[in-house]
Amino acid sequence: MEVEKLLGELVHIKSSFPEEAEICNYLEGYLKERGFMVERLLVEDNRYDLLAERGSGGDALLFYGHMDTVPLYGTWESDPFTLTERGGKLYGLGARDMKGGLAAILTALDSAGDQHIKVLICVDEENISKGAWKAVVDRRDWFKDVKLVVSGDGATSQTSNGGVTTVTLGRRGRCVVTIDVRGLSSHGADPGKGVNAINEAARIADNAHRIPLNTHQKLGSDGIFVRMIEGRATSLSLPENASLELDCHFVPPGSAEEMRQRVEKFIGTLRQEGKLDDRTVVTVALRKRETPYLEPYVTSEDDERVGNVIQIVRENFGEIVRNYGSSVADDNALARVLNVPVVTLWPEGRNAHAQNEYSVKKSLQDVTALFTMIISNWK
């Protein structure tokens, strides 16, 4: 099947999380038609990962993709569920993230011979990676012969929007830190007797840019922004409670817990500087979620399998562009839990999570050809 036709079929199927059932059925049938043994892994009600395998013996090459998209955002110039070509660009919801990469993977499988190939396609990547965590925790044995993961999930950074020569070799981690602030209520007619929790939370938010950041040679710098602040008075009284959340991307040697501790220490610095009232009680925690936060990773080019992929790119498409993703994906879980090298390659495109999302047609074709070459050279 031509990759553009397949992408059109994938885009036509609405699959924003948690509504992945229809596309799961389609992908299962597609893989079975191509000789794959396919297992459904129940993630939660009517939501399944697909674990597919063809060939056996020796080392396995794993292709990874996710089947969900984000919900529809913005006002589109064309039907977001009908793949539309304009100026060499293919527009549609998920065309860039990541149905373009998924279509390239699936099309490349058509040309595979007897190589040992595995395919993992997950649900919930656009949410909290329930599918990926379910797979790597509950089916760890299934990955034991995997020696390389090739992901088609784009890793946009400040320097790259993808393309056949863009080789992503790592991503930052991410967590959300919550800060609960308890002030001291007093009558609103005499506010000097109390502590306004909203004012205290606002001071923390206003100084959040001063939280010390780590820098990594390849992954760049940490990033922190205030993603939420709220509080209110419920009567003619000073608001006693307020809260805020910090969205934190971090690089090694940082971790989610280290980031929480760093924020907590910074709150102490604000106290020492007299920016917070001594009577204010501040509690810092990681925002609770069903899955672990994703930690950063870096893939070494010294790995023989990684080096082979880089050589294929160079020999057929030109010098590689090393890329390191600014945000997280299921790739983080695969790399950190499985301890297997992860290389991410995806078609050039833009507007992920936004209106008029697209992949570049020529780039989609090139990445499909690249995946085909990676498969044919696998031993």
Q: Which among 136, 182, 10 has a CA at the least distance from the CA of 82?
A: 10
The reply to whether the predicted model has a pTM over 0.85 is yes
As a whole number, mean pLDDT of residues 357-365 equals 98
Mean pLDDT, to the nearest integer, of 135-148? 98
pLDDT in tens, 300-347: 999 999 999 999 999 999 999 999 999 999 999 999 999 999 999 999
Contact 181/201 with Cβ under 8 angstroms? Answer: yes
> Given pLDDT bands bounded at 50, 70 and 90, which one contains residue 160?
confident
Checking if the pLDDT of 236 tops 80, the result is yes
CA pair distance 337, 140, nearest whole angstrom: 9
- β-pair type (146-151, 321-325): unpaired
- Fold type of domain 173-286: Alpha-Beta Plaits (3.30.70)
Range with lowest mean pLDDT among 5-9, 156-160, 350-354, 371-375: 156-160
- Looking at residues 206-224, what average pLDDT do you find? 97
The CATH code that applies to domain 3-172+296-376 is 3.40.630.10
Residue 126 has pLDDT above 90, yes or no: yes
Q: Report pLDDT for 112.
A: 65
d(CA 135, CA 235): 49
Q: Cα dist. 252→86, 92, 108, 215 in Å? A: 41, 36, 34, 8
**What pairing do the DSSP bridges indicate for beta strands 342-344 and 146-151?**
parallel
Mean pLDDT of 179-188: 95
The ranges assigned to domains in the chain are: 3-172+296-376, 173-286
> Average pLDDT of the chain?
96
pLDDT above 70 covers what percent of the chain? 99
**Over residues 153-175, mean pLDDT:** 91
> Three-state SS string across 196-247, please?
CHHHHHHHHHHHHHHCCCCEECCCEECEEEEEEEEECCCCCECCCEEEEEEE
pLDDT confidence of residue 379: 87
